[in-house]
Structure 1
Amino acid sequence: MTDQKPDSVVIGWQEFVALPEWNVPPIRAKSDSGARSSAIDVVDFEELPGERVLFHVALSKKNRDNLVTIEAPIKRRTRIKSSNGSVHDRLIVETTIQIGDHAALVELGLVCRKTMLCRMLLGRTALAGRFLVNSERRYLLSEKPPATKHKKRRPGKA
Protein backbone atom coordinates (compact mmCIF):
# COMPACT_ATOMS: atom_id res chain seq x y z
CA MET A 1 0.00 0.00 0.00
CA THR A 2 1.30 3.50 -0.82
CA ASP A 3 0.45 6.95 0.41
CA GLN A 4 0.59 8.36 -3.12
CA LYS A 5 -1.93 11.13 -3.62
CA PRO A 6 -4.01 10.73 -6.78
CA ASP A 7 -2.69 14.06 -8.09
CA SER A 8 0.99 13.31 -7.35
CA VAL A 9 3.17 12.69 -10.39
CA VAL A 10 6.19 10.37 -10.34
CA ILE A 11 9.42 12.04 -11.48
CA GLY A 12 12.99 10.81 -11.75
CA TRP A 13 15.76 11.80 -9.39
CA GLN A 14 16.99 13.98 -12.25
CA GLU A 15 14.71 15.85 -14.63
CA PHE A 16 15.08 18.73 -17.05
CA VAL A 17 13.12 21.69 -15.70
CA ALA A 18 12.14 24.81 -17.65
CA LEU A 19 11.34 28.19 -16.11
CA PRO A 20 8.83 29.62 -18.61
CA GLU A 21 8.15 32.93 -16.80
CA TRP A 22 11.87 33.71 -17.08
CA ASN A 23 12.40 32.28 -20.60
CA VAL A 24 14.88 29.74 -19.25
CA PRO A 25 14.88 26.55 -21.34
CA PRO A 26 15.12 23.17 -19.59
CA ILE A 27 18.10 22.78 -17.26
CA ARG A 28 19.15 19.71 -15.28
CA ALA A 29 17.58 19.51 -11.82
CA LYS A 30 18.10 17.06 -8.97
CA SER A 31 15.02 16.01 -7.01
CA ASP A 32 16.27 15.84 -3.43
CA SER A 33 13.76 14.93 -0.72
CA GLY A 34 16.58 15.25 1.82
CA ALA A 35 16.84 18.99 1.15
CA ARG A 36 14.07 21.20 2.50
CA SER A 37 14.50 24.10 0.09
CA SER A 38 15.09 24.44 -3.65
CA ALA A 39 17.84 26.41 -5.36
CA ILE A 40 18.87 27.61 -8.80
CA ASP A 41 22.40 28.19 -10.09
CA VAL A 42 23.01 31.90 -10.64
CA VAL A 43 26.20 33.51 -11.91
CA ASP A 44 25.63 36.66 -9.85
CA PHE A 45 22.89 38.80 -8.37
CA GLU A 46 22.32 42.39 -7.30
CA GLU A 47 19.69 43.59 -4.86
CA LEU A 48 17.61 46.46 -6.24
CA PRO A 49 15.40 49.04 -4.53
CA GLY A 50 11.84 47.99 -3.76
CA GLU A 51 12.73 44.45 -2.57
CA ARG A 52 13.71 43.27 -6.05
CA VAL A 53 16.74 41.36 -7.31
CA LEU A 54 18.53 41.25 -10.66
CA PHE A 55 20.35 37.99 -11.41
CA HIS A 56 21.83 35.95 -14.25
CA VAL A 57 21.15 32.29 -14.98
CA ALA A 58 23.72 30.61 -17.24
CA LEU A 59 22.05 28.60 -20.00
CA SER A 60 25.05 26.28 -20.26
CA LYS A 61 27.08 24.74 -17.46
CA LYS A 62 30.18 24.78 -19.67
CA ASN A 63 29.69 28.31 -21.05
CA ARG A 64 28.67 30.57 -18.19
CA ASP A 65 28.75 33.61 -20.52
CA ASN A 66 25.50 32.58 -22.25
CA LEU A 67 23.10 34.20 -19.77
CA VAL A 68 19.47 35.06 -19.20
CA THR A 69 19.02 38.24 -17.15
CA ILE A 70 16.10 38.10 -14.74
CA GLU A 71 14.58 40.70 -12.45
CA ALA A 72 12.18 39.40 -9.82
CA PRO A 73 10.64 40.38 -6.49
CA ILE A 74 12.41 39.04 -3.42
CA LYS A 75 9.87 36.76 -1.75
CA ARG A 76 11.87 36.44 1.46
CA ARG A 77 15.32 36.14 2.96
CA THR A 78 16.45 33.08 4.85
CA ARG A 79 19.40 31.24 6.35
CA ILE A 80 20.21 27.89 4.79
CA LYS A 81 22.27 25.21 6.49
CA SER A 82 24.12 23.22 3.82
CA SER A 83 24.82 19.50 3.93
CA ASN A 84 28.34 20.22 5.19
CA GLY A 85 26.96 22.23 8.13
CA SER A 86 27.84 25.75 6.96
CA VAL A 87 25.17 28.45 7.19
CA HIS A 88 24.50 30.97 4.39
CA ASP A 89 22.06 33.85 3.94
CA ARG A 90 20.01 33.40 0.80
CA LEU A 91 17.51 35.42 -1.23
CA ILE A 92 14.37 33.52 -2.19
CA VAL A 93 12.35 34.24 -5.34
CA GLU A 94 9.25 32.55 -6.72
CA THR A 95 8.49 31.27 -10.21
CA THR A 96 6.73 28.50 -12.10
CA ILE A 97 8.71 25.40 -13.01
CA GLN A 98 7.75 23.14 -15.91
CA ILE A 99 8.64 19.42 -15.89
CA GLY A 100 7.23 17.77 -19.00
CA ASP A 101 3.53 18.73 -19.06
CA HIS A 102 3.41 19.54 -15.33
CA ALA A 103 3.80 23.02 -13.86
CA ALA A 104 4.18 24.16 -10.26
CA LEU A 105 4.80 27.46 -8.48
CA VAL A 106 7.95 27.10 -6.34
CA GLU A 107 10.36 29.14 -4.25
CA LEU A 108 14.00 29.09 -5.36
CA GLY A 109 17.09 30.22 -3.48
CA LEU A 110 19.68 32.10 -5.54
CA VAL A 111 23.06 30.39 -5.21
CA CYS A 112 26.15 29.51 -7.25
CA ARG A 113 25.99 25.78 -8.09
CA LYS A 114 28.69 25.77 -10.78
CA THR A 115 30.57 22.91 -9.12
CA MET A 116 27.43 20.76 -8.83
CA LEU A 117 26.25 18.23 -11.41
CA CYS A 118 22.73 19.70 -11.48
CA ARG A 119 22.08 23.41 -11.89
CA MET A 120 18.85 23.26 -9.93
CA LEU A 121 17.85 21.48 -6.75
CA LEU A 122 14.21 20.65 -6.05
CA GLY A 123 13.72 20.17 -2.32
CA ARG A 124 10.90 18.71 -0.21
CA THR A 125 8.89 21.92 -0.10
CA ALA A 126 8.65 22.06 -3.92
CA LEU A 127 8.01 18.32 -4.24
CA ALA A 128 5.46 17.83 -1.44
CA GLY A 129 1.92 17.09 -2.62
CA ARG A 130 2.92 17.45 -6.27
CA PHE A 131 5.66 14.99 -7.14
CA LEU A 132 6.92 11.63 -5.92
CA VAL A 133 10.56 10.81 -6.67
CA ASN A 134 11.63 7.48 -8.15
CA SER A 135 15.22 7.34 -6.89
CA GLU A 136 16.18 4.61 -9.37
CA ARG A 137 15.21 6.47 -12.55
CA ARG A 138 16.04 9.69 -14.36
CA TYR A 139 14.06 11.76 -16.86
CA LEU A 140 10.64 10.17 -16.38
CA LEU A 141 8.79 13.35 -17.45
CA SER A 142 11.46 15.15 -19.44
CA GLU A 143 13.74 14.06 -22.22
CA LYS A 144 17.48 14.31 -21.88
CA PRO A 145 18.65 16.68 -24.62
CA PRO A 146 20.95 15.07 -27.18
CA ALA A 147 24.67 15.52 -26.58
CA THR A 148 26.05 18.35 -28.65
CA LYS A 149 29.69 17.28 -28.78
CA HIS A 150 31.43 13.97 -28.48
CA LYS A 151 35.05 13.53 -27.51
CA LYS A 152 37.05 12.45 -30.51
CA ARG A 153 38.89 9.21 -29.98
CA ARG A 154 42.48 9.00 -31.02
CA PRO A 155 43.29 6.24 -33.50
CA GLY A 156 44.37 3.12 -31.67
CA LYS A 157 42.72 4.14 -28.37
CA ALA A 158 39.77 2.24 -26.95
Structure 2
Amino acid sequence: MSASPSSPLVALGWREWVALPGLRIAAIRAKVDSGARTSALHVDAQWRFVEAGAPWVGFRLTPGENAATIECASAIVDEREVTDSGGHTSLRAFVRTPLRVAGVEREIDINLTDRHGMAFPMLLGRSAMARVFTVDPARSFLHGRVAAATGTPPVTPRT
Protein backbone atom coordinates (compact mmCIF):
# COMPACT_ATOMS: atom_id res chain seq x y z
CA MET A 1 0.00 0.00 0.00
CA SER A 2 1.31 3.42 -0.86
CA ALA A 3 0.16 6.44 1.07
CA SER A 4 -1.69 9.19 -0.75
CA PRO A 5 -2.17 12.81 0.34
CA SER A 6 -5.87 12.16 1.06
CA SER A 7 -5.21 9.06 3.20
CA PRO A 8 -5.50 9.41 6.98
CA LEU A 9 -2.22 9.33 8.89
CA VAL A 10 -1.11 5.90 10.09
CA ALA A 11 -0.25 5.76 13.80
CA LEU A 12 3.09 4.30 14.84
CA GLY A 13 4.24 3.55 18.37
CA TRP A 14 7.46 5.00 19.77
CA ARG A 15 9.18 1.80 18.62
CA GLU A 16 8.25 -0.42 15.67
CA TRP A 17 9.51 -3.30 13.56
CA VAL A 18 10.27 -2.07 10.05
CA ALA A 19 11.63 -3.61 6.86
CA LEU A 20 14.17 -2.20 4.42
CA PRO A 21 13.58 -4.53 1.46
CA GLY A 22 16.04 -2.71 -0.81
CA LEU A 23 18.77 -3.62 1.65
CA ARG A 24 17.47 -7.18 2.16
CA ILE A 25 16.46 -6.40 5.76
CA ALA A 26 13.21 -8.25 6.45
CA ALA A 27 12.85 -6.94 10.02
CA ILE A 28 14.74 -4.47 12.20
CA ARG A 29 13.76 -2.72 15.42
CA ALA A 30 13.47 1.03 14.99
CA LYS A 31 13.02 3.84 17.46
CA VAL A 32 10.42 6.21 16.03
CA ASP A 33 11.76 9.67 16.85
CA SER A 34 9.88 12.77 15.72
CA GLY A 35 12.60 14.86 17.36
CA ALA A 36 15.19 13.57 14.89
CA ARG A 37 15.06 15.12 11.44
CA THR A 38 16.80 12.27 9.63
CA SER A 39 16.72 8.49 9.86
CA ALA A 40 19.85 6.55 10.80
CA LEU A 41 20.92 2.94 10.37
CA HIS A 42 23.64 1.21 12.39
CA VAL A 43 26.40 -0.28 10.28
CA ASP A 44 29.30 -2.34 11.59
CA ALA A 45 31.60 -1.14 8.79
CA GLN A 46 31.38 1.07 5.72
CA TRP A 47 33.67 1.89 2.82
CA ARG A 48 33.49 4.25 -0.15
CA PHE A 49 34.05 3.49 -3.82
CA VAL A 50 33.18 4.84 -7.26
CA GLU A 51 30.78 3.05 -9.60
CA ALA A 52 30.26 4.41 -13.14
CA GLY A 53 31.76 7.73 -11.99
CA ALA A 54 29.33 8.14 -9.07
CA PRO A 55 30.11 7.86 -5.34
CA TRP A 56 28.89 4.67 -3.65
CA VAL A 57 29.11 3.24 -0.17
CA GLY A 58 29.49 -0.40 0.79
CA PHE A 59 28.46 -1.42 4.28
CA ARG A 60 28.01 -4.37 6.57
CA LEU A 61 25.39 -4.72 9.31
CA THR A 62 23.73 -7.26 11.55
CA PRO A 63 20.05 -6.26 11.86
CA GLY A 64 19.37 -8.17 15.09
CA GLU A 65 20.90 -10.32 17.80
CA ASN A 66 20.44 -13.65 16.01
CA ALA A 67 20.37 -12.31 12.46
CA ALA A 68 22.91 -13.06 9.76
CA THR A 69 25.32 -10.30 8.75
CA ILE A 70 24.27 -8.49 5.57
CA GLU A 71 26.63 -6.76 3.16
CA CYS A 72 25.14 -4.06 0.92
CA ALA A 73 26.18 -1.37 -1.52
CA SER A 74 24.24 1.71 -2.54
CA ALA A 75 24.70 4.97 -4.38
CA ILE A 76 25.32 7.91 -2.06
CA VAL A 77 22.44 10.37 -2.57
CA ASP A 78 23.79 12.96 -0.14
CA GLU A 79 26.56 13.53 2.33
CA ARG A 80 26.18 16.03 5.15
CA GLU A 81 26.97 16.75 8.75
CA VAL A 82 24.55 15.29 11.30
CA THR A 83 24.49 16.19 14.98
CA ASP A 84 23.59 13.29 17.27
CA SER A 85 21.65 13.50 20.54
CA GLY A 86 24.91 13.95 22.43
CA GLY A 87 25.80 17.05 20.43
CA HIS A 88 28.55 15.37 18.37
CA THR A 89 28.65 16.27 14.68
CA SER A 90 29.92 13.90 11.99
CA LEU A 91 29.87 13.76 8.20
CA ARG A 92 27.54 10.95 7.11
CA ALA A 93 26.65 9.26 3.84
CA PHE A 94 22.93 9.05 2.98
CA VAL A 95 21.39 6.31 0.85
CA ARG A 96 17.85 6.06 -0.54
CA THR A 97 15.91 2.85 0.07
CA PRO A 98 12.33 1.62 0.43
CA LEU A 99 10.93 1.51 3.97
CA ARG A 100 8.02 -0.80 4.77
CA VAL A 101 6.02 -0.37 8.00
CA ALA A 102 2.32 -0.68 8.88
CA GLY A 103 1.43 -1.82 5.37
CA VAL A 104 2.94 1.33 3.84
CA GLU A 105 6.00 1.36 1.61
CA ARG A 106 7.84 4.55 0.70
CA GLU A 107 11.31 5.67 -0.32
CA ILE A 108 13.35 7.28 2.44
CA ASP A 109 16.82 8.71 2.83
CA ILE A 110 18.78 7.17 5.67
CA ASN A 111 22.25 7.92 6.98
CA LEU A 112 24.76 5.24 7.88
CA THR A 113 26.46 5.47 11.25
CA ASP A 114 27.80 3.52 14.21
CA ARG A 115 24.89 3.09 16.66
CA HIS A 116 26.78 0.41 18.63
CA GLY A 117 25.56 0.38 22.20
CA MET A 118 22.21 1.98 21.31
CA ALA A 119 19.02 0.07 22.13
CA PHE A 120 17.78 0.31 18.54
CA PRO A 121 19.88 -0.30 15.41
CA MET A 122 17.64 2.10 13.46
CA LEU A 123 16.23 5.53 14.15
CA LEU A 124 13.18 6.56 12.09
CA GLY A 125 13.21 10.36 11.84
CA ARG A 126 10.45 12.81 11.04
CA SER A 127 11.40 13.38 7.37
CA ALA A 128 10.69 9.67 6.73
CA MET A 129 7.31 9.97 8.48
CA ALA A 130 6.14 13.28 6.99
CA ARG A 131 2.57 13.40 5.63
CA VAL A 132 2.07 9.63 6.16
CA PHE A 133 2.63 8.69 9.80
CA THR A 134 1.86 10.07 13.24
CA VAL A 135 3.38 8.87 16.51
CA ASP A 136 1.56 7.69 19.64
CA PRO A 137 4.35 7.96 22.24
CA ALA A 138 2.35 5.97 24.81
CA ARG A 139 2.34 2.82 22.65
CA SER A 140 4.89 0.56 20.97
CA PHE A 141 4.99 -2.16 18.33
CA LEU A 142 1.48 -1.25 17.12
CA HIS A 143 1.96 -3.22 13.90
CA GLY A 144 3.70 -6.33 15.21
CA ARG A 145 6.90 -7.80 13.91
CA VAL A 146 7.36 -7.71 10.15
CA ALA A 147 6.96 -11.23 8.77
CA ALA A 148 10.39 -12.60 7.94
CA ALA A 149 11.30 -13.90 4.51
CA THR A 150 10.65 -17.41 5.84
CA GLY A 151 6.92 -16.66 5.93
CA THR A 152 6.58 -16.71 9.69
CA PRO A 153 3.48 -14.92 10.94
CA PRO A 154 3.82 -11.49 12.56
CA VAL A 155 4.21 -11.34 16.32
CA THR A 156 1.17 -9.98 18.16
CA PRO A 157 1.55 -6.22 18.83
CA ARG A 158 2.22 -5.07 22.39
CA THR A 159 1.37 -1.74 23.99
Could you say whether these structures have the same fold, taking a TM-score greater than 0.5 normalized by the shorter chain as the test? yes
Contact between 1:99 and 1:142, CA under 8 Å: does it hold in 2? Answer: no
Equivalent residue runs for 1:103-142 within 5 Å: 103-142=105-144
Give the whole-Å Cα distance in 2 for the aligned partners of 1:35 and 1:72: 23
Residue 151 of structure 2: aligned partner = none
TM-score relative to the length of structure 1: 0.82
Give the % identical residues: 31
Q: Tell me, which stretches of 5 or more residues in structure 2 are unaligned? A: 1-5, 147-153
2:99 to 75, 97, 100: 97
Contact between 1:16 and 1:142, CA under 8 Å: does it hold in 2? Answer: yes
Residue 51 of structure 1: aligned partner = 55
1:100 Cα deviation (Å)?
3.2
| 2:22 partner SS | helix
Residue 39 of structure 2: aligned partner = 38
Structure with max Cα Rg = 1
Residue 72 of structure 2: aligned partner = 70
How big is each residue's C-alpha offset from its partner over 1:71-103, in whole Å with a ceiling of 9 and x where there is no partner?
100001010111221111100001001113111
Contact between 1:30 and 1:122, CA under 8 Å: does it hold in 2? Answer: yes
Give the whole-Å Cα distance in 2 for the aligned partners of 1:106 and 1:116: 21
| 1:51 partner SS | strand
Query: Structure 1 segments of 4 or more deviating over 3 A?
Result: none
Q: Which moved more, 1:68-77 or 1:51-60?
A: 51-60
Give the whole-Å Cα distance in 1 for the aligned partners of 2:143 and 2:43: 24
Give the whole-Å Cα distance in 2 for the aligned partners of 1:37 and 1:88: 13
The letter for the 2-side match of 1:102 is: V
Give the whole-Å Cα distance in 2 for the aligned partners of 1:25 and 1:44: 20
1:70 Cα deviation (Å)?
0.6
Contact between 2:63 and 2:121, CA under 8 Å: does it hold in 1? Answer: no
Residue 152 of structure 1: aligned partner = none
TM-score relative to the length of structure 2: 0.81
Give the whole-Å Cα distance in 2 for the aligned partners of 1:131 and 1:100: 9
